Amino acid sequence: MYQPNPHSEFRVKFDFHVEFTNGGSVDGRDFLLDLEGSEVSDADLAEMIVEAMNLARAARVRIHRKRIVRRGEHDDAAPAARSC
C-alpha cells in the first residue's frame, strides 16, 4: 500500500487519467508522489494513484509525462511559503 514519505529522496511527477467502472473519470496534472527508490513502473504508479486517492471504482489508469525528480529539484512549495 502506498504511504507518503516526507523524507524520501525521490518523487515522481506526472499527469494521469483514471476511468471508473461506474462511468466518469478524473485527471491529474503535475501530481507528485514520494518514491522509495529512483524508479517506478507505470503499472506500479497506477496502483499508487488508486491507493493514494482511495479510488475504489478505478478501472483504466493512464500515465503521461512521468519523470523522477529529487526532492527539492521541482517547484512544490505552497504559494504562501515561497519567497519573492
Query: What is the pLDDT at residue 73?
Result: 77
Q: What is the dihedral of CA 71, 76, 82, 84, to 10 degrees?
A: 90
Query: What is the pLDDT at residue 75?
Result: 66
Q: Phi and psi dihedrals of 16, rounded to 5? A: -150, 165
Mean pLDDT, rounded, for 5-29:
96
pLDDT at 17 over 60: yes
Please give the C-alpha separations between residue 66 and each of 54, 56, 57, 63, 71, in angstroms, as whole numbers. 21, 23, 23, 7, 15
pTM above 0.75, yes or no: yes
Grid coordinates given for 39: 524508479
Query: What is the pLDDT at residue 25?
Result: 97
pLDDT at 26 over 90: yes
72 backbone φψ class: left, alpha, beta (φ>0; ψ -120 to 50): left
Mean pLDDT, rounded, for 36-47:
96
The more confidently predicted of residues 60 and 71 is: 60
